[in-house]
Amino acid sequence: MNKQTALSGKEQRKVLFRLIRYLIPHKKSVAIALLLLILTVTGDVIGPYLIKVFLDDHVAVGNFDTNPIIFLAVSFMVIQILNVVISYFQLVKFQQIALNVVQQIRIDVFSKIHKLGMRYFDSTPAGSIVSRATNDTEAIKDLFVSVLIAYVQATFLITGVYIAMFLLNPLLALFALVLLPIVLLVIFLYRKFSSVVYMTMREKLSQLNAKLSETLSGMNIVQVFRQEERLNEEFNEINDQHYQAMMNNTKLNAVLLRPVIDLVYFVAIILILSFFGITSFDKAVEVGMIYAFITYISRFFDPINQVMERLAFYQQAIVAASRVFELLDDQEIEPAQIESKEQINEGWIEFKDVTFSYDGKTNVLKNISFTVNPGETVALVGHTGSGKSSIINLLMRFYEFEHGDIIIDGKSIKSYSKKELRKKLGLVLQDSFLFYGTIESNIRLFDENLTDQDVVEAAKFVQADHFIEKLPNKYQQKVTERGSTFSSGQRQLIAFARTVAANPKILILDEATAAIDTETEVAIQQSLEKMRKGRTTIAIAHRLSTIQDAEQILVLHQGEIVESGTHQQLLEQKGLYHKMYLLQNGIVEESLAK
Amino acid sequence: MNVFFKLGWFFKERKKQYLVGLFSLALVALLQLIPPKIIGYTIDEIGQGTLTFASLLMWVGIILITAILIYCLRYFWRLMIFGSSNYMAMRLRKKLFLHFSKMSPSFYQNRRIGDLMAHATNDVSAVQQTAGGGVLTLFDSITTGTFVILAMAVTIDWRLTLIALIPMPLVAISSTYYGKLLHERFHLAQSAFSDLNDKTQESITGIKVIKTFGQQNEDIDDFKRLSSEVVSKNMKVARVDSLFDPTISLVIGISFILSLGFGAKFITEQTMTIGDLVAFNTYLGLLVWPMLAFGMLFNIMERGSASYDRIESLLSIPVEIDDKPNAIDQRPNGDLLFHVKEFKFPGDEKASLRDVSFELKRGETLGIVGKTGSGKTAILKLLLREFEGYKGDIIFGDNRIDEYRKLRLLEAIGYVPQDHFLFSTSVYNNIAFTNPGVESKEVEYAARLAHIHDDILRFSEGYQTIVGERGVSLSGGQKQRISIARALMSNPELLILDDSLSAVDAKTEEAILEALKEERQDKTTIITSHRLSAIQHAHLIIVMNEGAIVEKGTHDQLMELKGKYYEMYNLQQLEQLVEKGGEVHE
């Protein structure tokens, strides 16, 4: 996950500009924040000036008229307090902008994820998709909060300090401009070296963690094969390399970070003292002026230190951002639907010569054709990999197909709106997935049009109410970690209730392979039967007993329909279906007696 | 504070570095006092018109030398103190890894890899922080603070010092308070973030369900809600975080105005010069950091202490299965006798093995069949000495297996686990796992025996192809066969195949079994399997059910018995038929 891809300077800038474009909707807030920043900087700059006036006009000449001094003291305090208040709001405002920008990026990423086709999910590990939406966007947040804001603040403050210096003494300010290229050079050098040193350190750390995590996962093998010592050596080697990398980073920071900036600061002090010292040989110099310059110069270095310390984040965040944008630009989107008003009323389905392949090489469905009449049930049976699930994947529009067509009520499946399809096609998956929330929220599944009564009715319909009513909190019972507190049968019933509540015209069932606990078995079978009434049903069946009354059974083998008919017809054929039937009923000897 | 005592051993070990580092740090704190003073002198000379070129040069020279000295010393203490803390991290990781590698399977059963990783990363870096930043902050804030205050009081004016210091404790108090508040709020922000993370995880795992019900927009709304929560929690952090700088500048501002006001008074009374006042103000600026640091120190220490305790408690878990004193330093070989009356996994109520006994002559093959959880794996785990505490005897050769040195026992065993775990290194290194320096001839030989050689040659880099995410993705069958080759490398006295042929097709299975038979005529083999074809040829087959042997004999004997084995056998024959598409009359 921590794989660092090297980005060229040009690519980095491109990513940065794209990030900055996210600020456009926040123009107003940015303007306010900048205004507050300018006020803060002004306050920062005026303070030392007032002290200068105090020192030069009063202390140095021994003029202690009360009124002007009180005026000075009061204005100093007022400015100080205003400054504190304004800078607080300024800091908060900038953070708010950054957080809002990151939220927008997050929502964009999450919305994009929902637009991606199943192919994307097949080829990308779930963990790395999650990382894109959360960890990588978090890194972008750090970029905005720690780097960009500090950068803007530093730029404004430095500009303000220079303006003040120019107003006080243009010649010295001009001299002080020399500092700028020195500081920029230090920043440039630090960035240049740290990009290598810091990246090496990150790289070593991720190697270290990878080694650790892999060895921990395979510790059993390591121990059985007595390789503990060797792996300790290997680990220590990486550990040493990481240590070296950390040391290099420490050294680099020691050479080029705060210590060197402080050195430049002292050079600046020397410059100021020399300037005023030499000037004083010819004419009088105001002491307060020296004080003001020394204060300004020290203000100048604070933000630079801050920016430098955060430079290391920059590269990391840019790499994270580039990964986020990669996902946002991904073209593997879900199959398109036409936005039409067409409705599915009958539930008549026809597969017309459909051929399909996941990878574009091997066909998992070959010229599949069959028809389902409204209200009838078609069962798909076959061994793992025979193509049953692929038929459902196509019908649910999880994947796009190229050859053949699927017709619903006389029109191609592609000509219905997405909304209509989702409303009229109900799928019950084999692994009944429950979401974090309550039983009610799982049955309702965000559909706010359902009344509480509807939810209860749906649960009753599938006989889930028996066990739900026994729960301490009934329908408000918490569902945690994918419903692990419920048995697989109970989960299945909740999933049924969810489908019943949605009331689809066409029912698609993907029966659970694993044996379901006997307690709920009866309820499940009865509910299935009830649910199928009045609905066109396409069912994947693992247990042939559940589909004996289907109007049509299709037996699939390696992507082709090899047998079809009713249960009785297929048994009489004494083909593959017959064998499967015998196998499931444990009637073995008869089948082997050839 | 007591975390520094806990880390005492380390400070002692790195005494030299810490002493040099802290000494440098103290020197820096002292040297820092010079420039403000010099600035004050220079200003006074300018003000009085007594500055000469020579004196200017001297003042400037002193500042320059001081600056360079400070630079060098700063480099030095960073190297010493941060260097030591880096060293600390390295040491702790090393210790932890060594300890992890000694822990037995029961240790891993009760813990998640993620948690162990967290100890080795987060906890280690918290301790590293304490040994580096913590030490620095504590020492530096005390030395700098003391030196600066002394310099102000002694060299300038003690009255002014007292007055200017009045508001200063506010910095320490508020930074401690903010720090605490920040910590709490940060915690809440973190947990909002982790909720968002969970939500995303869930949506992606349940993407099909969401697509099915057309609930994308609603799901996105839910995500928006959670992500707004993250924003609001983070804003709460920002509101505290943004308090630091303004508060400090307010306090400093008050200090300034106090010192200026009273300073002006002292100047007119002629007990102080303007230069002194400027130097005094510069000193005040130097006090900000120690005050601020004191507030942060508390947090660093607290976290470091908790982390160190966690690491220590992990390291104090004793090694469970160790060699007996005077253990036999000899590789066992010979017959295998397994007589276990009862065995329970630690923490289990129910026995996993009951009255399981069998005897195996050297060179024989044992087949074990049974459902998941029937006790097959428990037998193997006892043989591998991953668990002990059973009632009964397991004798390999002339002695009980726990009388050998564990190392020697394991040397005699080649094990192919159920979950074929491969390392993300080359295929070659995976096979030559026990002996990385071995000749390629031997590796290839083992690969041939396991019928994976031809597959390997087809990979892009042959034997040097990297396994896993960054290289070739292997099928389950290929992984199993590589695991078999790995186990065969040491030509073990006892080979254990734990359901390790499940993912290879029937023909390959037969070929591998044939090769093993040929190669291992005088060596013992134990095979567990769901598929009976893998154990049909064994000299002895035991059928396990709920931890006990229910049938025992050769294939022919068991078929004749017409019991469980017979039933399973027929069922599997039919299953194969269905898999092939039902073509009976081929």
Which domain CATH number covers A141? 1.20.1560.10
Q: How far apart are the first and last CA of chain A?
A: 56
Rounded to the nearest 5 degrees, what angle is found at the Cα of B33, between the Cα atoms of B27 and B37? 150
pLDDT digits (tens, 9 = 90+) for B174-208: 888 888 888 888 888 888 888 888 888 888 878 87
Place of tokens 């301790």: B127
Residue A340 maps to a domain: no
What percentage of chain A reaches a pLDDT higher than 90?
Answer: 14
**pLDDT tops 90 at residue B526:** yes
Cα–Cα distance list, B362 to A288, B359, B537 (Å): 99, 10, 16
H/E element holding B550?
strand B548-553
B204 touches chain A (CB under 8 A): yes
Split at pLDDT 50, 70, 90, the class of A3 is very low
- On whether both A317 and A378 belong to a single domain, the answer is no
**A498-542, pLDDT tens digit by residue?**
888 888 888 888 776 555 555 666 777 777 778 888 888 888 877
Least reliable range by pLDDT among A264-278, B444-458, B506-520, B564-578: B564-578
**A107: chain B residues, CB-CB within 8 Å:** 220, 223-224, 227
The token pair at B193 is 């973030």
- Lookup result for tokens 């060293």: B87
Instruction: Report chain B residues whose CB lies below 8 A from the CB of A441.
Output: none
Is A245:A201 a contact under the CB 8 Å cutoff? yes
Has residue B1 got a pLDDT over 70? no
The Cα–Cα gap between A447 and A437 comes to 14
Contacts of A215 in chain B (CB under 8 A): 97, 100-101
Q: Pick A273's closest partner by Cβ from B59, B199, B433.
A: B59
| A535 closest CA partner among A556, A509, A561, A511 | A509
Question: A322 and A354: one domain?
Answer: no
- To 10 degrees, the CA torsion angle through B61, B65, B66, B68? 140
User: What torsion, rounded to 10 degrees, do the Cα atoms B203, B204, B210, B212 define?
Assistant: -170
Determine, for residues A64 and B268 on separate chains, whether the beta-carbon distance falls below 8 Å: yes
CATH number at residue A581: 3.40.50.300
Cβ-contact B427, B464 below 8 angstroms: yes
Exposed/middle/buried for residue B507 (C-beta within 10 Å: 0-12, 13-18, 19+)? exposed
Q: Any chain B CB within 8 A of the CB of A134?
A: yes
A359 and A241 part of one domain: no
Alpha-carbon distances, residue B392 vs B324, B343, B346, B583 (angstroms): 18, 9, 17, 50
A275 and A408 part of one domain = no
Q: Is the pLDDT of residue B582 over 70?
A: no
Task: Determine, yes or no, domain membership for A343.
Answer: no
How far apart CA B558 and CA A446 sit, in angstroms, is 58
**pLDDT of residue B440 exceeding 90:** no
Residue window 147-206, chain A: list those with CB within 8 Å of chain B. Answer: none
- For A307-342, the pLDDT digits (tens) are 887 777 787 788 888 889 988 888 877 887 878 787
Say if B113 is an interface residue toward chain A (CB within 8 Å). yes
Instruction: State the residue range of the domain holding A390.
Output: 349-592
Show which of A295, A328, A361 is a domain's final residue.
A328
Q: With bands split at pLDDT 50, 70 and 90, how would you rate the model's confidence at A594?
A: very low
Mean of pLDDT values over A453-480: 80
* pLDDT at residue A586, as a whole number: 65
Same domain, A97 and A216: yes
Determine the pLDDT at residue B206: 80
Q: Please report the pLDDT score of residue A2 as a whole number.
A: 40
Are residues A257 and A126 part of one domain? yes
Identify the domain boundary among A328, A363, A392.
A328
Point out the least confidently predicted range of A368-372, B372-376, B482-486.
B372-376
- Alpha-carbon span A257 to A483, nearest angstrom: 52
Residues A57 and A138 in one domain: yes
Q: Choose from A104-118, A139-153, A530-544 the range with maximum mean pLDDT.
A: A104-118
Q: Do A273 and B60 touch (CB under 8 A)?
A: yes
| Partner residue opposite B274 with nearest CB, options A59, A115, A589 | A59
On whether both A371 and A265 belong to a single domain, the answer is no
- Would residue A341 count as lying in a domain? no
Which chain B residues are within 8 Å of A250, Cβ to Cβ? 78-79, 82-83, 86
Q: How far apart are the first and last CA of chain B?
A: 82
Q: Return the number of other C-beta atoms located less than 10 Å from residue B272's C-beta.
A: 20
User: Does one domain contain both A323 and A365?
Assistant: no
Euclidean distance between CA atoms A294 and A459, whole angstroms = 77
Residues of chain A in contact with residue B35, where contact means CB-CB under 8 angstroms, are: 266, 269
- A364 and A278 inside one domain: no
Give me the helices (H) in A436-487, please: 439-444, 452-461, 465-470
The token duo for A103 is 């939220």
CA angle A467, A470, A474 (to 5 degrees): 95
Flag whether A3 is in a domain: no
Within a domain: residue A40? yes
For chain A, percent of residues with pLDDT exceeding 70? 94
In-domain check, residue A211: yes
Let me know if residue A336 belongs to a domain.
Answer: no
Better pLDDT: B214 or B282: B282
Q: Is the pLDDT of residue B283 over 80?
A: yes
Residue B558 to residue B368: CA distance in whole angstroms: 13
Q: How many domains does chain A have?
A: 2
All residues of chain B having their beta carbon less than 8 Å from the beta carbon of residue A230 are 436
Beta carbons of A294 and B97 less than 8 Å apart: no
* Tens-digit pLDDT profile for residues A281-313: 888 888 888 888 988 888 888 888 888 877 777
Average pLDDT along chain B: 87
Residue where one domain finishes, among candidates A328, A360, A380? A328
Predicted pLDDT of residue B434: 85
**Over 70: is that where the pLDDT of B143 sits?**
yes
Q: Which pLDDT score, from 0 to 100, does residue A309 have?
A: 78
Angle between helices A287-328 and A66-115 (to 10 degrees): 10
pTM metric for this prediction: 0.79
Q: Where are any strands of DSSP class E within A273-398?
A: 349-357, 363-372, 377-382
Q: What pLDDT, on a 0 to 100 scale, did the predictor assign at position A1?
A: 37
Residue A344: pLDDT band with limits 50, 70, 90 = confident
Place of tokens 């590789």: B331
How close B387 gets to chain A, by Cα (Å)?
12
Q: Does residue A460 share a domain with residue A390?
A: yes
**Is A277's CB within 8 Å of B56's CB?**
yes
Neighboring chain A residues of B282 at a CB cutoff of 8 Å: 294
With a CB cutoff of 8 Å and minimum separation 6, the contacts of A564 are A370, A552, A553, A554, A555, A570
Alpha helix (H) ranges present in B359-505?
376-383, 406-411, 427-431, 440-449, 453-458, 476-488
- Segment B319-337 mean pLDDT: 84
**Is A217 in contact with B421 (Cβ distance < 8 A)?**
yes
B94 touches chain A (CB under 8 A): yes
A38-47 pLDDT, tens digit per residue, is 999 898 888 8
Q: Please tell me whether residues A32 and A180 are part of one structural domain.
A: yes
Residue A338 lies in a domain: no
